Homo-oligomer: A and B are copies of this chain.
Amino acid sequence: MRRDAVERSKLILETAERLGYRPNASARAMKSGCFNAIGLVQGFDVRRSNLPDELLVGVHQTVLKFNQHMVLARLPDEKLASTGFVPKILRELMVDGLLVCYSHEIPTGMIELIREHAIPSVWLNVHQEFNSVRPDDIQAGRLATEHLLRHGHRKIAFCDFEHDEAFMFGPLSHYSLRHRYEGYCQAMKEAGLPTRLILGPKRREESEFPQPPVRLDWLEESDHPTGIVAYGGWGLLRVALRAQEKFGDLRAISMVTVNSRVQICEDIAIDTVILPQQQIGREAIELLQKRIQDPLKSIPSRVIPCELRAGFSVKKA
């Protein structure tokens, strides 16, 4: 009997497949009351809501584990600012929760819109106490600095070649810049060393030309820094090339940066504090499951530590 049943169910499954039967996800959703879907909300502007590939990989892997799928909602930034526009993903019921990816200049009303509609949501890379996941940028700054200190450097500067001071301490900058700088300052203070902040002229839109030159004047000082902790970006190449010119060595200035992956600069792999993007994606989805289960309960944000990956851009001082 039992044996019979097993065989029969097997036959049924085979026949179903042969006939190309596929269960209807909508019907199942309606019955079960949940969509098995997570919405990913971001803007059209990449810089507003940058989503590194590594993070997406983490997200997809985890979503797969929960047998969910992702619904992508890329929202037109201008329309969102204007009155009354509500994107489809908020207007209709179609996902169980939202992953919100706005790190810079979050569109007006986005936050209220999401709260009003009471959809369980988790934010990526924003500095808020609850319901978000982000890397520990303070620790990242520390790690980078301590790495240079371990190599005997004493004159270490923190550099961001792409932003000026007004921007860095203004309302439009991302907290990660200030946090990494803070971590750098902490490490320097603990080592009893003075801090130094080197900022650049503000660069223009990426597609614009010409860009203002990267600030390299500090390299001309007799007592110039021997190591730098960089916020990111491509300025490091210019530093290396200038070092090549001046000291005959691309690696004359030791450099550490913070990034999602190791960046190659003139065939030199940069020593990098790796942002744990994949893990961030994973934990964000896991956090979101909890929020879906109990939408009213806010959950403390998760702050994920970073790891240093040594390259070839740091020498003994």
A: residues with CB less than 8 A from B are 20, 22-30, 35, 37, 40, 44, 46, 53, 56-57, 60-61, 64, 67, 69-74, 76, 88-94, 116-118, 206-207, 209-211, 213, 241, 261-262, 264, 267, 269, 311-312
Contacts and interface: CB of A to CB of B under 8 A. Distances in A.
B26 A94 contact: yes
- The dominant DSSP class at the A interface is mixed
B20 A209 contact: no
Nearest to A24: B93
A88 B67 contact: yes
A97 to B, nearest CB: 14
Contact of A26 (B35, B69, B74, B269): B35
A16 to B, nearest CB: 11
A91 B30 contact: no
A272 to B, nearest CB: 11
Contacts of A56: 74
A71 to B, nearest CB: 6
**Number of copies of this chain in the oligomer?**
2
A20 B70 contact: no
Given A27-B26, A53-B46, A209-B267, A71 B71 contact: yes
Q: Specify which of A29, A94, A264, A267 lies most central, judged by the most chain B CB atoms within 10 Å of its CB.
A: A94
A72 B71 contact: yes
A209 B117 contact: no
A22 B209 contact: no
B60 A44 contact: yes
Contact of A69 (B71, B116, B213): B71
A264 B209 contact: yes
Contacts of A210: 267
A107 B281 CA distance: 25
- The 7 A-B pairs with the shortest beta carbon distances in the complex, nearest first, are A25-B94, A26-B26, A26-B29, A60-B74, A70-B72, A209-B269, A25-B92
